[in-house]
Amino acid sequence: MRRCYKCGQKAVVYLRQYRIAFCKEHYLEWYLKRVQETIKEFRMFGKGDRVLVAVSGGKDSLSLWDALHRLGYEAGGLYIDLGIGDYSRRSREVCEKFARERSLKLHVVELSKEIATIPEIREKEKRPACSFCGQIKRYYMNHVAKKEGYSVVATGHNLDDESATLFSNVLSWNMDYLSRQFPVLLEGEGFVRKVKPLFKFTEKENALYAFLSGIEFVEEECPFSEGASSIEYKRILSEIEEKSPGTKLRFYMDFLRRMHPILQQDKAQLNPCKVCGEPTSSEVCSICRLRERLSSKALSF
Ligand code: SF4
Ligand code: ZN
Ligand code: ZN
């Protein structure tokens, strides 16, 4: 039987890559301390900032919101209702309940009222849902943060997400994406600051935090996530991690330390969209162009 490295009680978790075991109480303490240290190390935000946490109803984003709240930050939530059938209905309920139980402010954007639901757009655009959904979500995170007076947007991306994205960007040598892959994207040119305070935690560590703190979350994945290449990359990286614990974190941290500084040149110039004012590299942003396309398609039906 393993014992907690702090108090000697029976351990409930063993973290292979750090070779430490914890009881419930000391795991939660370790987790919160590490979130706080990451925020400080990367100068993500301070106690004077208002943080908007983008929540999906899953373990990562709700753990993040819970941790920021416990650490004493002023954190509101944003749920973007994508209109993806039961999946969206259930995840919205979970987010609303989470906010209600803790008396926290939850902002809700209903995509059906703004543009159209993700399944509707997919149908009309004849493209995979994920090819525009991520962009739409980023657009509304920025938009709502500015409208509601938040200085920072925080997302629950974990180490598995970030290392899989890095892996994919390296495989295609996507220099533009690589140069923007960082846990803090500073404000400017119409963007509020964007941060990923959980980027050092694996999916399992977040699930454990959620489970041990009694957070109710939606376990089912978005139905459109099936077959996404990121799932395959996550699987490959987890196999390597299994054989050599700590590889994912090293892969990502070494990228941040060694490679990222070299890539900070030649960034595209941005200007406000002529229609909605959000930042874009063209005259009219891609979301306004999508909205325009959908409305003209609707007319021709
Ligand atoms: Fe959107 Fe679902 Fe794709 Fe995620 S998996 S980007 S929620 S469509
Ligand atoms: Zn303990
Ligand atoms: Zn626009």
Q: How far apart are CA 231 and CA 222, in angstroms?
A: 13
- CA–centroid distance, 125 to ligand 3, in Å, is 18
Is residue 230 in contact with ligand 1, taking CB distance under 6 Å?
A: no
**Which residues lie across from 194 on neighbouring strands?**
153, 185
The CA-to-CA distance between both ends of the chain, in Å, stands at 67
Helices marked H in the chain: 24-41, 59-70, 85-101, 111-114, 118-125, 130-147, 159-171, 175-180, 203-212, 229-243, 247-254, 286-300
- CA–centroid distance, 132 to ligand 1, in Å, is 9
Nearest ligand to the CA of 87 is 1
Average the pLDDT over 168-187 and give the result.
Answer: 92
Average the pLDDT over 89-109 and give the result.
Answer: 98
Residue 60 has pLDDT above 50, yes or no: yes
Average the pLDDT over 113-137 and give the result.
Answer: 94
**What pLDDT is stored for residue 276 in this prediction?**
95
**Which residues lie across from 22 on neighbouring strands?**
13
Is residue 129 in contact with ligand 1, taking CB distance under 6 Å?
A: yes
Nearest to 43 by CA among 197, 190, 252: 197
Nearest CA to ligand 1 atom 6: 130
| Sign of the CA dihedral running 70, 76, 82, 85 | positive
Is residue 270 in contact with ligand 1, taking CB distance under 6 Å?
A: no
- CA–centroid distance, 128 to ligand 1, in Å, is 9
Residue 298 has pLDDT above 60, yes or no: no
110: pLDDT confidence band, cut at 50, 70 and 90?
very high
Nearest ligand to the CA of 143 is 3
Full-model pTM:
0.92
What the chain holds in terms of domains, given with CATH numbers, is 46-220+227-267 (3.40.50.620), 268-301 (no CATH)
Q: How far apart are CA 227 and CA 130, in angstroms?
A: 11
Nearest CA to ligand 1 atom 3: 130
Average the pLDDT over 136-150 and give the result.
Answer: 97
Residue 189 has pLDDT above 90, yes or no: no
Nearest CA to ligand 1 atom 7: 222
Residue 77 has pLDDT above 60, yes or no: yes
- CA–centroid distance, 97 to ligand 2, in Å, is 30
